[in-house]
Chain A
Amino acid sequence: MNNEQILQQVEPALRPQAKAFLQDKQQTPELSFLLRALLFVGALCGAVLLISDSSFHILSVPFWLRGVIFLVAGWILLYRWRGDGSARGLFLRQLGGLFVLGGQILIGLELERGLRYKYLWLGITVLAGVSYPLFRSSFNRFFWCALAVSLCCYKLIDDLSLGATACGLIGLVLFAASAWIFIKRRFTFYPLAYALLWGCAWVGGMDAFAHWQEGLLDGVNIVLAVLAGFYLYKALAGHKKRWLGVAAGAVCALVLNWPSVLALAGMYLGHRLRENVLEWGCIAGLAGGLVVFYFSLDISLTYKSLFLIGPGLLLLWARSAYAK
C-alpha cells in the first residue's frame, strides 16, 4: 500500500493525524478470518449456554432484569476491550456483543408478552432504532434491523393482502434504499443496508410462494427486464458488443423473476464498489432464488429444465462473443 500516494489526497492540516492513523492500522496484526470465525463460534456457544442457564437457575429474577444484567455485562466487556487488536480482546468483545444481543432478546421477549403480538413489529422496530446508536456492534445492528424489516414487510403484505406487483415494488424500494447507502459509502449504515437487502430477499420469498404460480410475465418483471437491460447497457459502456450483455440480462430478467434480477444487479454493484460481502451475499441470493424457482413454479420438470438450460446457453454464448 502506498501511504504517500494516499496522504497526498488528504488535506495538509489533517495529514499528521491521517499518517498516525495509517501507521497504527498497519502495526496492528490482523487476525485471520478463520480464527475470527472460530472465536465467534466459541463465544456464541458460551453466551448461548450461559443465557440458557439463566432460565434454570435464576428464575426468581424477573425476565426483564435478567435481560438488563446481560446487557450491562456485555456493555462493560465491549467498553473494557474496545480497540484491543489481540485475540483476547476480540474474543471478549464478541462475548460482550453476544451478551448485549442476548440481553436485548430477553427484553424483546418481555416486550412481546406486553404487546401481545399485535404490535410486536412496532416494538421490534423501536428496539432496532434505539439500539442502533447505542450498541455499535455491526452484528447487533444488522440483527435487529433485519428482524424489524422482516416483521414490517410481513405485516404490510399480509394485512393488506398485497399482490405480486406490489411485492415487487416493495422489493425494488428496499433494494434502491440499500444501494443508495452503499453508493454513498455511509459505513455507519451498512448493517441497515444489509438488513434492507435481507428484507428484499424475504419479500421475494413471500412473493414466490404466494404468486409465482400465477405466471412468470407479470408487470414488475417486464419493468425490471427493461431496467436490467439499461443497467447492463450503462455498465458495458465503451464495449463494442454491449448489446450482447443487454440481451442476456433482459432474457434472464424475464425468466428469473425479480428477486434474482436484483441479486444480479447487487452482484455487479458489489464488484464496482469492491464490497466483497455484498457481491458474495448476492451470489448466495441468486443461488437461493434458483432453489425457490425450482420448488415454487407450478410447471413440469421438463419445462423447468428448459427455463434453466435456455438462459444458460445464452449466457455461455454471450461470454464467448464478449471475449472475442
Chain B
Amino acid sequence: MNTKHALDGLLQNKFLTLPAYERLLGELCPLNAGAWLSARLLMAASVFILAGVICFFAANWQHLGQVFKLGLPLAGLLACGAGAWYKGVQTAAGQAFGFGAGVLIGVFLAVFGQVFQTGAFVHQLFGPWCLLLVPLALLLRNKWFWLMPVYVGAIYWISKSSSWNPTWPLWYGFNGLFIAAWVLAEVFGRRRVRVFSRFLWVPFSGFNFCVALIERFSSTHEWAFLIGALAFAAAALVYAWYSKDLVLWAWNAFMLAGLGSMWVVSLNGLTLYFLICALLFTVAGGAVAWAWPRLREDKHHE
C-alpha cells in the first residue's frame, strides 16, 4: 500500500494529529526540491522553446528559401544524430534524440514533396517513412519506438487502400499482418519479445475498433465482417487468459462489448438495443470481476 494513502487514512480517521501527520510525511516521503525544480524547469523550458520555434516557422514559412526549408529538417536530423552519438543511443538523452530523428525523417519527406512539387500520393510519403523508421527502431532497441513505424505503416495502408471499395481488405489485411508478426514472435522469440503484450495490443486494437466502427456502417460484407471482428476479439480474450494479464483481459472484454453493441445498434427494427448494449457492458464488467481472483497474481506485465 502507498505510504501517503495510509497516512491520509490515519489522519482522516483521527488516529493522527495534523502536526504528527506532517512530521511522518516528511520522514517517510522525503522531498527532493532540487531535482523536482530542475526537472520542471527543463520541461517548461523545452515546451516553451519548442512551441515558440513552431510559431516562428509557421509565421515565416512563405518567406523562407527552398534551401533553408530543406536544410532545416536536415540540420535537425544531423543534430539528433550527433546528439545520439555523443550521449550514446542507450542513454535517456540518446533515446530522446532517436525519437526526434524519427519525427524529422517524416518532416523532411513532407518538405521535400512540397518544395519539389513531386505530385506524390499521400501514401508515398508514409511508405518510405515507415521503411526508414525500421532500422532506427532496431538501432534504438526501444519497444515504444516500434509504435511509430506501426502507426506510420497503418496510415500508409489506410491512405493506399482508401480508393478500394469495399474497404474490408484494409481490416483483414492489417489484422493478418499483425497476427503473422505475433505468431512469429511467440514461436521464435517467446522469451525475449512479447509483441502481443499490452503496450502494442491496446493502441492496435483501439485502431482496429475505429476501423471496425467505420466499416460496420459502410461495408456491404456485414456478416463476414462481423464474424471476423468477433472472432478476432474473442481470440484476444483467450490470449489474455493464457498470458494471465488481467488488464489485457479487461480491455478485450470491453472491446468485445463495444463490438457487440455496434452490431446491435446497426440492426434495423430492434427496439431494445440500448438495454442490450448496457447488458453487454455489464456482462463485460462481470467477466473482469470473475477473472480478478484468477489472474491477479501474475506480475510479468509490460
Contacts and interface: CB of A to CB of B under 8 A. Distances in A.
B7 A6 contact: yes
Interface string A297-322: 00011101111111111011011001
Nearest to B282: A46
A319 B274 CA distance: 55
A22 interface: yes
A50 interface: yes
A187 B11 CA distance: 9
Interface string A4-46: 0110011100100110011001101111101100110111011
A86 interface: yes
B86 interface: no
Nearest to A56: B274
Contact of B18 (A43, A185, A248, A287): A185
A323 B45 CA distance: 15
Interface in A185-202: 185, 187-188
B31 A46 contact: no
Interface residue range, chain A: 35 or more
A95 interface: yes
Given A53-B275, A312-B45, A95 B282 contact: yes
B56 A38 contact: no
A202 B10 CA distance: 34
B44 interface: yes
Contacts of B12: 187-188
Given A18-B15, A57-B275, A322-B38, A87 B288 contact: yes
Contact of B49 (A41, A235, A287, A309): A309
Contacts of B28: 1-2, 5-6
A91 B272 CA distance: 24
B272 A318 contact: no
A311 B64 CA distance: 25
Among A39, A50, A315: residue with most chain B CB under 10 A? A315
A45 B281 contact: yes
Contacts of A185: 8, 11, 18, 21
A57 B293 CA distance: 37
Q: Which residue of B4, B37, B246, B277 has the most chain A CB atoms within 10 A of its CB atom?
A: B37
- Main secondary structure on chain B at its contact with chain A? helix
A39 B249 CA distance: 11
A308 B41 contact: no
A11 B19 CA distance: 13
Contacts, number: 208
Contacts of B38: 319, 322-323
Given A21-B15, A302-B60, A42 B254 contact: yes
Given A87-B288, A305-B59, A6 B274 contact: no
Interface string B243-254: 000110011011
Nearest to A48: B278
Contacts of A115: none
Nearest to B59: A301
B152 to A, nearest CB: 25
A272 interface: yes
Interface in B253-276: 253-254, 257-258, 261, 271-272, 274-275
Contacts of A41: 254
The residue among A10, A287, A319 with the most chain B CB atoms within 10 A of its own CB is A319
Contacts of A310: 52
Nearest to B32: A271
Interface string B106-127: 0000000000000000000000
Contacts of A184: 18
B251 A9 contact: no
Interface of A: 1-2, 5-6, 9-11, 14, 17-18, 21-22, 25-26, 28-32, 34-35, 38-39, 41-43, 45-47, 49-50, 52-53, 56-57, 86-88, 91, 95, 184-185, 187-188, 235-236, 245, 248, 267, 271-272, 274, 286-287, 290, 294, 300-302, 304-313, 315-316, 318-319, 322-323
9 contacts: A5-B28, A9-B20, A25-B9, A38-B250, A45-B258, A46-B279, A187-B11, A290-B51, A318-B41
